[in-house]
Chain A
Amino acid sequence: MYSLSTVRRKNRAWLRRHSYSFFSSLGVLLQHKVGTPMTVLVLGIAMFLPLGLYVTLANLDGLNLHQDEWSAVTVYFASGTSEAEVRRVADELEKRMQPEKIVVISPVEGLVDFRDASGFGDSLDMLEENPLPWVMQVIPPPGSSEEIKASIDGLTTYLQSINSIEVTQFDYKWLQRLGRILELGEAAVSVLMLLFGLAVVVVVANTIRLDVASHADEIEILALVGAGNAFIRQPFLYTGLWYGLMGGVLAIILLYVTLFYLAGPLGLLLETYGTTFAMRGLGGSNILWLLLGGGLLGWSGAWISVQRYLRLLAVGGRLGRH
């Protein structure tokens, strides 16, 4: 059994060794004015690609595309349909489907709206009679996308069975497609995160492997004078950790530069769709997760490389042979 003072001494020694490795590995990295930036750049880009896609999707997901309007079904009645027939269909719909809202637009109201929106005021005055039909907008009850789809399907099936209705039009399919594209994007983000995470591990592992090879003599001497595997591993693991953290920081910088660069043109584009939009970044917790993940990936890459080398130094290995 160890006495309390021995345990404290050992803990202090452990802490001293770790803090030394933590800072000295950073110092060594900063001394490499070309190699370190190049490795960090590769890691930063590898982390930026899935990160950028993730943020893009998160932004698209939160985009106000006026989904309630997109799910509306527009019903055009046949020319000459009476107001009574239109009201009857509306009442029937109200009873059967319990929609969120039904808006009935008469030909006169339609013409007024068209006059205001189109700017053909004078030309419209030349028409002998109003050519516009009765129009009805039906907004299904709110729900999940699956529920809305079911409502719309039921609604259109019913509307198609009514003779006085000429055309039924709905835009929800486009919204659904967008939803599917977003789902596909999310799946792509997962795959990319996995692949680029692996790339980070491989890049760090390869860099540390070269580092280990260039310090082979030093490692051998350390092992000969009594350094254990943990002691030998430590500086390399911290180097891997720093690489991962630096790569993560660079990815965040790249992301915000890209967002800043895209914000203007994207805002103008969305304005034409009648929506305004403020690009969202990562948020504090996501930044922390990214740095943690980057550090962990770097640490893992370094572990793989050093561990492979340490196996050669096991008892009965090549240690001290040359």
Chain B
Amino acid sequence: MVFLTGHSGAGKSTVLRLIMMLERASRGQVIVDGQNLSEAPDRLAPLVRQRTGMIFQDHKLLRDKTVADNVALPLVIAGLRYADIRKRVRAALDKVGLLDKEGAWPLTLSGGEQQRVGIARAIVAMPPLLLADEPTGNLDPNLSRELFALFEEVSEQGTTVLIASHDLDLIRKMRKRVLVLSSGRLADDIPALD
């Protein structure tokens, strides 16, 4: 689990966008799992995104689909069978503590619950890399701590988690490796304090 921090405009979100192949690097290379994404053709972008779970500050949930349907999206895209999808969706919702909300509509959930739905969707396909862009931006400190604990749990299960955040207090408490960006450059690389 690694944190990416810096002032607004430092380039945190851009790094995540580059890793998700939402953006092209004008200079340098973006290497993920040995693959140089800077040179990868556009048609590989969906594949890269399928192998990378992404959590957004504004959750990006479909309002006219239930929680379970939202979580199922990556699996539907991958073309899994309905029975498998259902099993894995329930497992993901269980992991984020929302199994009882699988039939609920996103707008009936609190901000923290919506963010956990987003996390369930990001981890349901068990991607090797999980990215989170200011995941605690709209949450109170207690919920933020809960979320980070959840990220730690996902990380312990073998998923690389990269979180862009400017919540320095929380980042310090997590004692993980921190990359500090400033004006688009790596200003500092603080190792984890175990």
Binding site for B on A (CB under 8 A): 10, 12-14, 16-17, 217-218, 220-229, 231, 314-316, 319-320
Contacts and interface: CB of A to CB of B under 8 A. Distances in A.
B168 interface: no
Contacts of A221: 60-62, 73
Given A224-B49, A225-B73, A315 B21 contact: yes
Given A13-B79, A228-B77, 10 more contacts: A217-B62, A221-B73, A222-B73, A224-B20, A226-B46, A226-B50, A315-B24, A315-B42, A319-B22, A320-B56
Chain A residues touching B, majority SS: helix
Contacts of A228: 43, 46, 77
B47 interface: yes
Contacts of A314: 42
A221 B17 CA distance: 14
Contact of A227 (B17, B46, B51): B46
A319 B61 CA distance: 15
Interface of B: 17, 20-24, 42-43, 45-47, 49-51, 54, 56, 60-62, 64, 73-74, 76-81, 121
Nearest to B122: A225
Contacts of A16: 79, 81
Contacts of B80: 13
A224 B54 contact: yes
A100 B159 CA distance: 94
Contact of A225 (B22, B24, B42, B54): B54
A285 to B, nearest CB: 36
20 contacts: A14-B79, A220-B60, A221-B61, A223-B46, A223-B49, A224-B49, A225-B54, A225-B74, A226-B49, A226-B50, A226-B51, A226-B74, A226-B77, A226-B78, A227-B46, A228-B43, A228-B46, A229-B46, A231-B46, A231-B77
